[in-house]
Amino acid sequence: ILAVPCHKNRENRRLQEASMRLEQENDDLAHELVTSKIALRNDLDQAEDKADVLNKELLSTKQRLVETEDEKRQQEEETAQLKEVFRRELEKAELEIKKTTAIIAEYKQICSQLSTRLEKQQAATKEELDIVRSKIMGCENCRDLFSTLGSLQASSPGKHKTSTEPMDEEKDGLKEQLRQLELDLAQTKLQLVEAKCRIQELEHQRGVLMNEIQAAKNSWLSKTLGSLKRTAPQPVRPQRCLLYIKLSDLNQ
């Protein structure tokens, strides 16, 4: 009979110890749960703060993207306007070059014609001089009137005066014709020189115009690229705005 209460007492102590152990474990679990809740709350607060920061960055990025797109459209409009102005100026300059080239070609043709005319006149003058010289050498009276230098000698008055009058008229006519030929030759030479000078002037103007066109191309392209580089925004996350310009489009 006494053994039964002892057994019950031991069982009660065991149960009490188990209960105390369970309560301790429960307290530990409760403490761990509270600690985990606090840690999770802190993590949640940090995540919310980070989400707020990311939302602000996203809004800022969207705003910058809108501004960048506006700047891009503005730059494209300005580029299109500049390209149109440059195209008109280039067409105008090319038309001027074509006109200048045509004028130069015309002057060269005139020079060629004048050179041919000059050669023909020189040949004709030489031929006429040979004819005059042969006529003079064929006439004894005329041959005696010329010295070795080809100048006329004064004829003696008296019996030769009447007989030499027709020859004097013929010689005067030949001399006048010779002077006219020499005058035409001088005028032709002057026209040839003037035409050559005009060609040189036009070629110089064309070279200056070509240099100005090339300088305008380089200056405009440099200014445009420089302006685009200055106004281009820095890349931002999470999106980037890239602006490409084809150089071949600028030369169209």
CA separation for the pair 105, 112 (Å, rounded): 10
Say if residue 166 is preceded by a cis peptide, omega within 30 of 0: no
Q: According to the model, what pLDDT value does residue 211 have?
A: 78
Token pair for 26: 């429960």
Q: According to the model, what pLDDT value does residue 70 have?
A: 92
Q: According to the model, what pLDDT value does residue 237 have?
A: 45
Q: According to the model, what pLDDT value does residue 196 have?
A: 73
Domain positions in the chain? 3-234
Residue with tokens 């010295």: 147
Q: According to the model, what pLDDT value does residue 153 have?
A: 41
Cβ-based neighbour number of residue 150 at 10 Å: 8
Whole-model pTM: value is 0.38
From the CA atom positions of the chain, what is the Rg in Å? 56
Q: According to the model, what pLDDT value does residue 146 have?
A: 61
Cβ-based neighbour number of residue 171 at 10 Å: 19
Task: Look at residues 117, 146, 118 and name the one whose alpha carbon lies nearest to residue 133.
Answer: 146
Residue with tokens 């005139």: 110
Q: According to the model, what pLDDT value does residue 42 have?
A: 93
Residue with tokens 């440059």: 86
Q: How far is CA 67 from each of CA 118, 227, 229, rounded to the nearest angstrom?
A: 74, 17, 16
If 0-12 CB within 10 Å is exposed, 13-18 middle and 19+ buried, where does residue 216 land?
Answer: middle
Q: How far is CA 68 from each of CA 62, 75, 226, 228, 234, rounded to the nearest angstrom?
A: 10, 10, 17, 12, 10
Three-class SS of residue 149?
Answer: coil
pLDDT per residue, tens digit, the chain (252 aa), is 445 567 678 888 888 888 888 989 888 899 999 999 999 999 999 999 999 999 999 999 999 999 999 999 998 898 888 888 888 888 888 888 888 788 878 877 877 887 788 788 888 888 888 887 787 777 766 666 664 445 444 444 444 444 445 555 655 665 676 677 667 777 777 777 777 777 777 777 777 777 777 777 777 667 666 665 665 545 444 434 333 333 334 334
